[in-house]
Chains A and B, each alone.
Chain A
């Protein structure tokens, strides 16, 4: 290995910067999963009967399923009886000002640099902060309320908008979909609900910060976003988690529904604890995200920047049912040390003239493995469907791996499908060039990596893009010089 490759390796051995645990009193139920536990969760949340029934159906189905195995991801088996399925901050929401929020929580957010304060008002971002499993604070709900927009915790929605929940819950991701979706459906604790009425353009980016906080608490978040005819919403999800010794399971479900001419933009920055240099203690992130373009000319765009978790298994997908509907997926996935990521997307073309774009940028450093797995399916009736996929992999050092698994199923011969893939090593010549121009190694790497990810960052809202760049630099930074 050349000297500069060694420096590169050093550089990419950095420590997780968000490792701390905040001390908020939580109310937990004992470890383990059973029908009783499902009932307790539902009871604690005071849920209507239909929710309990849904959970129980999902739980019973889950019992019949086996945990999937993936060829490129390797981890010790999970003991589902060793997980705590419910934890809630003791102090309940219904607060009017920040003064009433647990000061520990405020401290946590400040450490993370999350401006929950009035700055958010100025920047026009409403925040629905999820700590552990219960939403603690929702801002600017009133302002959104004037437009008829609903943006609240999932639990709240179950009580205040049961008809909407009944109508849409599980319509995009049925509880039978996969092992982790079934588990989530049975035990999900909370999450977010967004409803944009007909013809309304949501005037601000809606954002949620998730944070895993209680040791051994599996996180089972549930998000549902419905955009009625002709509406538009941009939703941001970002997360960091405290340092932890035991692996933590995270199995979220996100469902999006876009009606005629509606558009949903869903952006994620994911930075959960990746484990130490040897991968010990990181988060297992098994997420099911799917959007349904139900109406004509509807559009769903997923953008993700994934830097965290020890294992990521995640395929934000689009079902393009409405004619002329559009699905997009833009992804940057960074793996370092012993992280493993298996991520990608599915674009299911059902309607006529449907169009999908996939731009995936994988970056592997250390001894990590980064896989892109993508399915493009063109159904029988999808006349003139069009897909463009571009999957690039960037390797930093000699000991990491990048893998690309594109799957293609075409049942309609009018389809046009294009796929491009590249794998490159971060160029010593590029680094030499930038250093010759006066930049240090760290700046040179950041410049090259940010350039490589640009197409994806361009899709993120401005502030988020800056945050994502910072995060990328942190994930790849280390002991240079």
Chain B
């Protein structure tokens, strides 16, 4: 599904990702952990195609295609979905209008029939119910004045509606209360499917009790310094990052 090879990325002349290798096969869930500023969001932005990042070297294949050659919109159509760490607010655009446009643009690009306003609304309501999102959020401006947790749940609503092949969750669990964490995790688990993969970025082992990963990677200073199974997350929770950081130096 996804193959990242020796990826080196810089922003404003500063190297942030220093040779990332990562393979995600269909149906797998990969968790990425790592200290603040280690490059987790940078990696997810690069996967989604944000322009301000310079790709110095390396390659990314998505379903056999050269991802780096694709525009942001094309990547979305191809099935990459990024749940943002900080979802932006767009004043004056209602959540419903936005969702409708996102759903139909995506369907059109994937060769599916566009849905009528009634059908769209039905679909949105159905998924909103699953995520326990009150209908009044559909009429409000996109993310404007949403609480942190509400924004995150709204990201999950979008993911559920857009039917991605690869869902990247950038700290979706941060700022969620315990109930919301369970709701969000349930939503992800419902979307689990042999053909769908996830990259889950998190600081907390707790999330991984709900969304059980196949692999856990530790990103430190732009490199994946440790890979293991879910027990790695537990060890990190107990012991912190110091011991893997040491490992990083050992690698150089």
- Given A439-B102, A441-B73, A453-B92, 5 more pairs with CB closer than 8 A: A433-B84, A436-B49, A436-B82, A437-B102, A451-B91
State whether A438 touches B106 (Cβ < 8 A). Answer: yes
29 examples of A-B residue contacts, CB within 8 angstroms: A2-B51, A4-B51, A428-B51, A428-B52, A429-B88, A430-B88, A430-B90, A432-B51, A432-B72, A434-B90, A434-B98, A435-B72, A435-B73, A436-B48, A437-B98, A437-B105, A437-B162, A438-B102, A438-B162, A439-B73, A439-B105, A440-B105, A441-B73, A447-B93, A448-B90, A450-B93, A451-B91, A451-B93, A452-B91
Question: Most chain-B CB neighbours within 10 Å: which of A3, A427, A429, A441?
Answer: A429
Q: Is A10 an interface residue (CB 8 A)?
A: no
B158, A3: Cβ atoms under 8 Å?
no
Residues of B within 8 A of A430 (CB): 88, 90
Interface centre among B71, B87, B90, B109 (most CB of A within 10 A): B90
What CA separation (Å) do A427 and B90 show in the bound complex? Answer: 10
Which residues does chain B contribute within 8 Å of A432, judged by CB atoms? 48, 50-51, 72
* Residue numbers in B under 8 Å from A429 (CB-CB): 88
| Minimum Cβ distance to chain A for residue B101 (Å) | 6
B200 within 8 Å of A (CB atoms): no
Decide: B92 and A452 in contact? CB cutoff 8 A.
yes
Q: Report if B141 contacts A (CB, 8 A).
A: yes
Of chain A, the residue at the smallest CB distance from B80 is A436
A429–B75 Cα distance when bound, in Å, is 17
B30 CB–A CB distance under 8 Å: no
**Measured between alpha carbons, how far is A3 from B72 in the docked complex, in Å?**
12
Residue of A nearest to B71 (CB): A435
For the complex, count residues of A whose C-beta is within 8 A of B: 26
In the bound complex, CA of A4 to CA of B90 (Å): 18
Q: What is the predominant secondary structure among interface residues of chain A facing chain B?
A: helix
Q: How far is the CA of A235 from the CA of B75 in the complex (A)?
A: 47
Name the CB-closest residue of B to A441.
B73
Shortest beta-carbon contacts, A-B, top 10 = A451-B92, A454-B92, A451-B93, A438-B106, A437-B102, A435-B72, A438-B105, A438-B76, A435-B73, A433-B88
Residues of B contacting A453 in the complex (Cβ-Cβ under 8 angstroms): 92
- A to B contact number (C-beta, < 8 Å): 79
Residues of B within 8 A of A455 (CB): 92
Whether a CB of chain B sits under 8 angstroms from the CB of A205 is no
Minimum CB–CB distance from A127 to chain B (whole Å) comes to 30
Q: In whole angstroms, how far apart are the Cα atoms of A435 and B101 in the complex?
A: 11
B165 within 8 A of A: no
| A443 lies within 8 A of chain B by Cβ | yes
In the complex, what distance in Å separates the CA atom of A405 from the CA atom of B107?
46
Chain A residues near B18 (CB-CB < 8 A)? none
Mark interface residues in B101-132 (1 if CB within 8 Å of A CB, else 0).
Answer: 11101100100000000000000000000000
Complex alpha-carbon distance, A440 and B76, angstroms: 10
Q: Which of A446-481 contact B (CB under 8 A)?
A: 447-448, 450-455
- Give A416-437 interface residues, CB cut-off 8 Å to B: 427-430, 432-437
B220, CB-defined interface residue at 8 Å: no
A423 to B15, CA, bound (A): 32
Of chain B, the residue at the smallest CB distance from A440 is B73
Name the B residues within 8 Å of A428 (CB-CB). Answer: 51-52
B105 neighbours in A (Cβ, 8 Å):
437-440, 443
Minimum CB distance partner of A446 in chain B:
B101
Q: How far is the CA of A162 from the CA of B252 in the complex (A)?
A: 94
Q: Which of B12-61 contact A (CB under 8 A)?
A: 48-52
Min CB–CB distance A31 → chain B (angstroms): 47
Answer yes or no: B77 CB below 8 A from chain A CBs.
yes
